[in-house]
Structure 1
Amino acid sequence: MTGGAIRVTETGPDALARVDAAMRALPRTTAIAGAVDERRITYVTRSKWVGFPDYTTIEHSDGLLKMHARLRFGKSDMGVNRERLERMLIVAGQG
């Protein structure tokens, strides 16, 4: 997917809490909607140099962790959204 990435994997019920903690620990990243107990959270991560926003939504339902990271502006994210989701798969115990 140009400018973003999607990952879906089977996980246990505590995976979302682990991923939430890891996302909040990322530089320039803030949760903007949702919560672990709602089983869906959206974050904004701003680029270091210009501050462009990328959005990441993570949801846990029916034993699946569903992650979607995408840019807000432009045409290329230079792979940072894919890389972010790959790191979150490791945190979730699936990488």
Structure 2
Amino acid sequence: DVNRRLQVHLHEIRNLKEINQKLQDDNNELRELCCFLDDDRQKGKKLSREWQRFGRYSASAMWKEVGTYQLKLKELETNQERVVRENMDLKEIILML
């Protein structure tokens, strides 16, 4: 009877060792997965910051370009008004002749 109980306990111990090993393997796999996901998260965060920086730089560059074009447009409008006035003056002079 004692031998039989001892065999049962040994069998239980083996089963528990197998279960423990499987749980340790699962734990290691999950730990590796967590590390991988954390690395991926860090890369995503870094990439997000880079895109944000690029977006700010692009917006700043575009605002500068728009400002330059607005100044150029203002100059062209002023020149056009001057040419129109000169044309009107020349037209009046021609009509006087």
- Identify whether the pair has TM-score above 0.5, normalized to the shorter chain: no
The structure whose residues are more often strand, as a share, is 1
State the structure with more CA Rg: 2
The structure whose residues are more often helix, as a share, is 2
TM-score by length of 1: 0.18
